Structure 1
Amino acid sequence: MSRSVELDRLVARRDPASGAVASLFRTAGRDELPAVVLVALLGDLGTREAAARRLLSRMRDDGRLAARRDGRAVHLRLHGAFGASVQRVGDGLGARPPEWTGAFEVLLHAVPESERAYRDRLRRTAVLAGYGVLQPGVLIAATDRSADLAGVLDDVPPGARVTRGSLAVDTAEAGRIAAEAWDLDRVAAVLAGHADRLAAMAEGDGAPPPAADAATLRRLVESTTPVFVDLLRAPALPAPLLPAHWPVARLAGGLSRVLARYVPPARAHVSARLAGHGTGVSPPGLR
């Protein structure tokens, strides 16, 4: 399996449904939403009610959503490594890159095939936290991200070994290692494509503002969800380790313009949905 395919699989970059749910929380500007409202909002995006219920239940079952019951209503919030990765991407846009210390943080793992579920969980959580795949059994990060893995590192099964360490290299070699571990050339090409598309979309700044309706919400989610999903592949690396013409700053500028134009009316539509449902009673199938 190529490193590109491996990273795609671990990040689950082709999971637009979960990405859309994260975008709805981001658009609402809330940490928690009633399940009944999430079902309605997914309906605004074109998802049938039964499929929306199944999606939210599946996300609960695999730990991407957590629930709080209030009477007959269920309120949901982003949770676990998935929720942390959504937060990391949001916080990382426009943030100052870390300094290069001269060494990578390294996570070595040797997990028997009988514990494959744990191995997949470890690698997926690590990649969502910002680690790159250097080679099988070796994950690296430019800064110490182990706190984001605490729950996984505390749960190492018998017969498995997970070891933390560091790898000191000169800057030029570190750049080559980073390019391989995070597939940076491919990531740069994908993000540059997003930057071009968002720049064209933002050219509507002088037009009348979008309406506060489902169509605006749908356009916002469909145009920005792929960006945020692919930003999970963009590590927070020191500037000396990044390729020339790294497009994240340009992408962040275009994304900010699109969000400034579309989020206020989309959020108004979400607020209307919340007001219309009140606390609501959760639809069948959401426990």
Structure 2
Amino acid sequence: MGEIHDLTKRGSDVGDRYRLTRIAFDVVSVFGCLRAGAVPGPIIVRVLADHGYSASSVRNQLTRMVQRGLISSERRGRVTQYRLSERILSQFRDISGERTPPSYDGRFHAAIYTIPESSRQLRDRVQYVARMLGYRQLRPGVLIGFADRSGDLCAQLPDTVDGGWYECTEIVPDSLETAKRMTAVAFGLADAHRQVEEFEDALAVLAGPHGVPGSGEPDLPIGRFFDLYFRIGRAVLEHPLLPAEIVGDCQPSQHFRTAMDRCNLEYYVRYDEQVRQAAAESSVVDLIEWLPEGGYQP
């Protein structure tokens, strides 16, 4: 068992700090669609107009995202230039990077906590930070994962609050079958498998009867396409790779990442030229800082 900590009054800093809403996801997608490291505000506004957003709603969202630390801003003459935060960039790298599942060594790494209702915001913070580090909820007050991220977790949490505590420890199941059942509950495997089927059906429609990207629903507006893109992107971020010893060949995260790859291809076939043309129409297009080929994707 690890050291017991008291949780504190810094709970007003809610753990939702980095959660991507739909409009925030679409703002982030502009950087990926353009394969750019920095994009001026007017171009973000112009590109998202095709998604159905008003200029004022995009500007307000950009302000909120800067306040939340999701993006940074700097003045370039009369124009504001935006960049993605390191946290968001790391999520892109997680999606497109190494796809080797972790191993199962006969134990779960766990965080156990008790936080009173009076500190509900702090409880939300604990749960969210833990999720970002790969832990998932087995039952109320018990989070489990396959890697020891206790140091990172404790570093992002406060020290004391009246009536609350948390402890980082290990849980050793009595058998592999027990570990599989615990994983299925904590990581929502039944719902994940249903989502995989839904995404595969939706992508099959987009590929048409002959499986050619872009041939199904040829007049699909970009905003409706990003409805699907957002759902797949969120699934990729919410479902980490799991040990093969636990899930065998039924690895939901791999299926979600494959769906994301197919979504990227659909995007390039259908909308890449449209988005680049929209950016090129702006008088501040020269301020875009393009990434080399192979940079992060939408």
TM-score of the superposition, structure 1-length normalised? 0.75
Aligned residues: 267
Cα drift, residue 125 of structure 1: 2.3
1:120 alignment counterpart: 124
Contact 2:236 2:256 in 1 (8 A): no
1:147-206 per-position Cα deviation (integer Å, ceiling 9, x unaligned): 6646523x4345553332222223211111111112210122112211221133234764
- C-alpha distance after superposition, 1:84-113 (max 9, x if no partner): 445433436xx1211112211112233444
1:206-229 Cα shifts (integer Å, max 9, x gaps): 47889xxx9764454233121111
Q: 1:140 to 1:277 in 2, by over 3 A?
A: farther
**One-letter amino acid of the structure 1 residue matched with residue 114 of structure 2:** A
Please tell me the root mean square deviation across aligned C-alpha atoms, in Å: 3.6
Query: In 2, Cα distance between the equivalents of 1:116 and 1:81?
Result: 24
Q: Does the alignment pair 1:228 with 2:233? A: yes
**Match for residue 156 of structure 1?**
159
Partner of 1:191: 196
1:263 matched to 2:268: yes
Aligned position for 2:133? 129
| Conservation of the 8 A alpha-carbon contact between 2:115 and 2:123 | yes
Unaligned segments of structure 1, at least 5 residues: 1-8, 282-287
CA distance in 1, matches of 2:152, 2:283: 36
Which among 230, 240, 244 is matched to residue 239 of structure 1?
A: 244
Alignment correspondent of 1:3: none
Q: CA deviation at 1:81?
A: 5.4
Structure 2 counterpart of 1:23: 29
Q: Secondary structure at the match of 1:235?
A: coil
Q: 2:114 aligns with which of 103, 110, 116?
A: 110
- AA paired with 2:112? L
Q: Give the 5 Å matches for 1:30-179.
A: 30-79=36-85, 84-91=90-97, 95-146=99-150, 149=153, 152-153=156-157, 155-159=158-162, 160-169=164-173, 170-179=175-184
After superposition, where does 1:182-221 map in structure 2 within 5 Å? 182-203=187-208, 206=212, 217-218=222-223, 220-221=225-226
Q: CA separation in 2, counterparts of 1:10 and 1:118?
A: 10
Given residue 72 of structure 1, which amino acid in structure 2 is its aligned partner? R
Partner of 2:294: none
SS of residue in 1 equivalent to 2:228: helix
Between the aligned partners of 2:235 and 2:85, the Cα distance in structure 1 is 19
* 1:148–1:274 CA distance, 2 compared to 1 (3 A): farther
Secondary structure, counterpart of 1:74 in structure 2: strand
Output the amino acid matched with 1:259: N
Return 5+ residue gaps in structure 2 as ranges: 1-14, 288-298
2:6 corresponds in structure 1 to none
Alpha-carbon distance in structure 2 between the residues aligned to 1:193 and 1:99: 28
Q: Describe the SS at the equivalent of 2:97.
A: helix
* 3-state DSSP of counterpart to 1:54: helix
Structure with greater Cα Rg? 2
Q: 2: CA distance between counterparts of 1:232 and 1:11?
A: 15
- Identical residues among aligned pairs (%): 24
Change (3 A) 1:239 1:59: same
Letter matched to residue 67 of structure 1: S
The answer (yes or no) to whether the contact 1:111–1:119 under 8 Å persists in 2 is yes
Higher helix share: 1
Letter in 2 for 1:237: L
Q: Quick one: distance in 2 between partners of 1:179 and 1:191?
A: 15
